[in-house]
Amino acid sequence: MKRPLRTPFFEIGVKNYIYGDDVLKMAMHADRCAEKYDVDVIMIVPYTEIRTVRQNTKRLFVFAPYMDTLRPGRGMADVLPEAIKAAGAEGVVINHCERPMSLPQMKATIDRARELDLYVFGCADSIVETQALAQLRPDIINPEPNELIGGGGGVSDQAYVEANIRAVKDIDENILVEQAAGVSSPREVYDFIFAGCEATGAASGIFRAEDPYQMAEAMIAAVRKAKDDRDAANRL
pLDDT confidence of residue 146: 62
Q: CA neighbours within 13 Å on the CB side: how many for 100? A: 6
pTM higher than 0.75? yes
Give the residue with greater pLDDT, 145 vs 234: 234
Q: Tens digits of per-residue pLDDT, 60-73?
A: 999 999 999 999 99
Residue 109: pLDDT over 80: yes
Q: Tens digits of per-residue pLDDT, 183-195?
A: 999 999 999 999 8
Q: Tens digits of per-residue pLDDT, 195-213?
A: 889 999 999 999 999 999 9
pLDDT confidence of residue 1: 87
Average pLDDT score, the chain: 93
Phi, psi of 59 (to 5 degrees): -95, -25
Domains for the chain: give ranges and CATH numbers.
Answer: 9-235 (3.20.20.70)
**CA atoms of 34 and 60, how far apart (whole Å):** 7
pLDDT confidence of residue 217: 98
Mean pLDDT to the nearest integer, 97-104: 93
Q: Tens digits of per-residue pLDDT, 134-189?
A: 999 999 999 877 655 555 555 667 787 888 899 999 999 999 999 887 899 999 99
Query: Out of 104-113, 125-134, 223-232, which region has the weakest mean confidence (pLDDT)?
Result: 125-134
> From start to end of 67-181, where are the E strands?
91-94, 119-124, 140-143, 176-177
**CA atoms of 13 and 65, how far apart (whole Å):** 9
Q: What is the CA radius of gyration of the chain?
A: 17
pLDDT confidence of residue 125: 86
Residues above pLDDT 70, as percent of the chain: 95
